[in-house]
Chains A and B, each alone.
Chain A
Amino acid sequence: MMSDPHSPTFPPPVTDALVACHDCDLLYRKRPLREGEKARCVRCGALLYTRKPNSIERSLTLALAALILFVLANVYPLLDFQFQGRAQQSSVLSGVRELYAQGMWALAVVVFVASILAPLLKILALLYVLLPLHFGRRPWWMAQVFRWIETLHPWAMTEVYLLGVLVAFVKLSDIATIVPGVALYSFAALIVAMAATDAALEPEAIWERLETRR
């Protein structure tokens, strides 16, 4: 619940003319950048802010692609395991389910959050903010939702998960026939799409849209 913006606990905002380095707190006077330029802290080298071309449209398109790939990666099987006439398929969710069934519920939660929940929430939260912004509207609770994305970011471990699957794949390929499934390729593409979304995103541009109401 957000408190009243006019209450005394809300300090008066300083103009956007100043920016502080998030790693060493040095204060800078903000200068307009050309597209594609980056401003870095002279003292510690941290990225201060950037200007990216068509940030909202490009990150929106890429986030939509990521959503489609996410669905494919979770609907289809990752690996097919064939051994002495028996076959077993595994998907991201079946790994979580099996851990839970074997009594390792805490481990099941960690794998579920890192491989399914956090990436999905991140994509959905991005779409929730970007889609209305593209049409010139402002979604409800935009600031709150956009804030969650940064919190979710480190917990979405899609790329690490893919590497874990590949290790399992190579480990088993000695003793049985393993066939990669559709989901494995979708997963690889999902990682590329999510990384491209992050690269296209310019948070400053989105926060500045919030400014207009102030």
Chain B
Amino acid sequence: MNPALPVTAARAALARCHACHLLSRMKPLAPGSHAHCPRCGAALHLRKPDSLARAWALTLAAYILYIPANTLPIMTVVSMGHGEPDTILSGVRVLIAGGLWPLALLVFFASVVVPVLKLLALTCLLISVQRKSRWRPRDRTVLYRITEVVGRWSMIDVFMISILVALVKLGAIATIEPGAGALAFAAVVVVTMFAAMSFDPRLIWDALENPDER
């Protein structure tokens, strides 16, 4: 194992480049000017800028988008002249009724469980960092890593719709029309991905740095 120095990079006034991970010494800058990584040119910050404000805004936006994503139809199957709109949940119900248990479970997990858990996890992380909590920082870091990786899997339904729409174009017999719910759903996934990216996990550990501050 590596010998850890008992300090964080930020304490030593070293900024880690987001892109190439090189450490650079941060010097006081004129207001409005940015420091850049000498190796790759990326902007340098000790912490992601406005991390909490950005992550909060995006998480709240995702909560709001989550409502139309689940109530509006994601697609409408029109066969023989009449159509039935499908929401995310009714799509899962159709799969269960058809006896496709493993598939129903997969879609339910990816489209319902993952986005809800991701939103709750982000909210927990944001509240705990906001309150400068010192509670189980390592577990919270792991929670952050999971939310970062898992969110993209919720796109399954959106991709499924794009394939169905292209395949089922049989004129009078059957067509599939994408619904506004699919757009809201894709937006939830994209917005939560941005929210996770703007959150800085180092803030979890910063609370441990200044024990007397709270």
Q: Write the B125-166 contact mask toward A (1 if CB under 8 angstroms, else 0).
A: 000000000000110011011001000110111111111111
CB-based contact B160/A45 at 8 Å: no
How many chain B residues touch the partner (CB < 8 A)? 80
Q: Which residue of B is nearest A13, CB measured?
A: B38
Q: In whole angstroms, what is the CA distance A40 to B137 when docked?
A: 16
8 Å CB contacts to B: which residues of A47-103? 48, 78-79, 81, 83-84, 86, 88, 90-91, 94-99, 102
Give CA–CA (A9, B152) in the complex, Å: 36
CB within 8 A of A164: which of B3, B15, B155? B155
Question: Measuring CB to CB, which residues of chain B are less than 8 angstroms from any residue of chain A?
Answer: 1-5, 7-10, 12, 14-16, 19-27, 29, 33-36, 38-42, 44, 95, 98, 100, 103, 106-107, 110, 137-138, 141-142, 144-145, 148, 152-153, 155-170, 173-174, 177-178, 182-183, 186, 190, 193, 197, 201-202, 204-206
In angstroms, Cα B172 to Cα A84, docked, is 12
23 contacts between A and B (CB under 8 A): A11-B15, A11-B38, A18-B14, A19-B2, A24-B204, A25-B10, A25-B16, A39-B2, A42-B4, A44-B201, A44-B205, A102-B165, A104-B178, A104-B182, A104-B183, A107-B178, A150-B19, A157-B159, A163-B106, A164-B160, A172-B164, A207-B39, A207-B40
Q: Which of A145-168 contact B (CB under 8 A)?
A: 146-147, 150, 154, 157, 160-161, 163-165, 167-168
Interface residues of A (CB under 8 A from B): 2-3, 5, 9-14, 16, 18-20, 22-31, 39-46, 48, 78-79, 81, 83-84, 86, 88, 90-91, 94-99, 102, 104, 106-108, 110-111, 114-115, 143-144, 146-147, 150, 154, 157, 160-161, 163-165, 167-168, 170-172, 174, 203-204, 207, 210-211, 214
